Amino acid sequence: MQAKVAANQKTGKSIDNAFASHFAKSMFLAACGLVTLSFFGTRMFTHVDLNLYGYMVGTIIFIGGFFYRFIAWGERPPTKIFIKKGIKLLFRKSTPKTSVEHLATYNFIWNRGIYRWTQHILIGWGCILSCFVTFPLVFGWMYFTMDDNGYYNIIAMGIRVITVPANGIIANLSYNALNITAVMVIAGVCMALYRRLKNMQARAEQKFMYDFLPLYMLLLVSVTGLSLTFMNIFLHGAGQPAMSLIHQWSVIITLIYLPFGKLAHIPFRPMSVCARNYREHYAEQSMKGCKVCGDEFVSTEQSKDVVEVLGVNDIEFQTKEGYHLAEMCLPCRRKYRIAQFSGFPIHELKVKEANQNAKG
């Protein structure tokens, strides 16, 4: 038995040693997976659209950037803890509900106002649906054929999924799927830009490269995509070749930029389910009371993990009273910082902040 375990460990190490890093291994496996799916989806590469070659290159670079960013983020001590423990809790009964609230309905944004919720729904689902349409087309996992009898075939992974009339509702939705998502993104981006320009608090916190540039890039992709449809229908194709190149380059640049800017939270968003499961599960076990006011503010496990992670990074927040700063609730922590400047132990006063229990 021990010999078998040793052999398995040796095999695992030999596989890891075949690559220079976790990034190299992830990219190799991802590329192999894409090629395999494309092989079967295009029926041994017999249905490859070379007009989409640029998008394919941009997507592969995006995947490389995503792996690089995710691995760098995942190697951080606090991230390791919540990912490791969160994955173990994926089969909680509340996981489906949490997934819907965080990844579909965005309930966590509802408390910030219906305006911000609407803009996030439009941008988020506009981008997600665009990816669901674009990536299968780019890699040949899905394509369309037209029969002589006026019927339209939708082929997925080499299998004819559905046959519909070419002028029917389903066919028209298929033709205009990207136009619909482009309108959603444009509406959401315009709402976001309006808020960033008119809301004084938002204006004070915004930076052009981090907050505005991603929105302008999404706007450029969506507007140029809609322009292609406009030129095809109303201008009989005039100017379409040049606009097609502009649109393609805007998509490629956006894909390359995506893992390294603010838009990276879109592919990272599923990790919020692990974080929510982590908080909820250990909160059900036992809660940590604040060392100053006694209010329960976080799970005992999370408080212990925070102290442990800070210790790994040689960061100590030990107070002269003998407890760790992470063992204090947020209001008392703020008061403690004020006390360090004023010299008066304000954090020991049993007076709550006016908005201490505010939500949203």
Domains assigned to the chain: 19-272 (1.20.950), 286-348 (no CATH)
Contacts of 212 (CB under 8 A, 6+ apart): 193, 196, 206
Instruction: Return the amino acid letter for 263.
Output: L
pLDDT in tens, 260-284: 888 888 888 888 888 888 888 888 8
Distance of alpha carbon 279 from its chain centroid, rounded? 20
The whole-number pLDDT of residue 210 equals 82
**Burial label, 130 (beta-carbon count in 10 A; 0-12, 13-18, 19+):** buried
Contacts of 74 (CB under 8 A, 6+ apart): 80, 83
Measured from the Cβ of residue 164, the count of other Cβ atoms closer than 10 Å reads: 16
Measured from the Cβ of residue 334, the count of other Cβ atoms closer than 10 Å reads: 15
Say if CB 86 and CB 278 are below 8 A apart: yes
- Residue 2 scores a pLDDT above 60: no
- Residue 5 scores a pLDDT above 60: no
The whole-number pLDDT of residue 307 equals 83
Bigger pLDDT: 313 vs 74: 74
Quickly list H helices, 139-212: 169-175, 177-198, 200-205
pLDDT in tens, 191-243: 999 988 887 777 777 888 888 899 999 999 999 999 999 988 888 878 888 99
> Of 136, 137, 99, which Cα lies nearest the Cα of 269?
99
DSSP 76: S
The whole-number pLDDT of residue 280 equals 86
Q: How is residue 184 written in tokens?
A: 């959603």
Quickly list H helices, 42-147: 53-74, 77-88, 95-103, 107-110, 114-138
Q: How confident is the model at residue 348 (pLDDT cuts 50, 70, 90)?
A: low
CA distance between the termini of the chain: 55
Strands 159-165 and 287-289: unpaired
Query: 246 forms bridges with which residues in the sheet?
Result: none
- Residue 247 scores a pLDDT above 60: yes
The whole-number pLDDT of residue 347 equals 56
Distance of alpha carbon 161 from its chain centroid, rounded? 29
The whole-number pLDDT of residue 123 equals 93
DSSP 272-294: HHHHHHHHHHHHHH-EEEPTTT-
Lowest mean pLDDT among 14-18, 26-30, 45-49, 91-95: 14-18
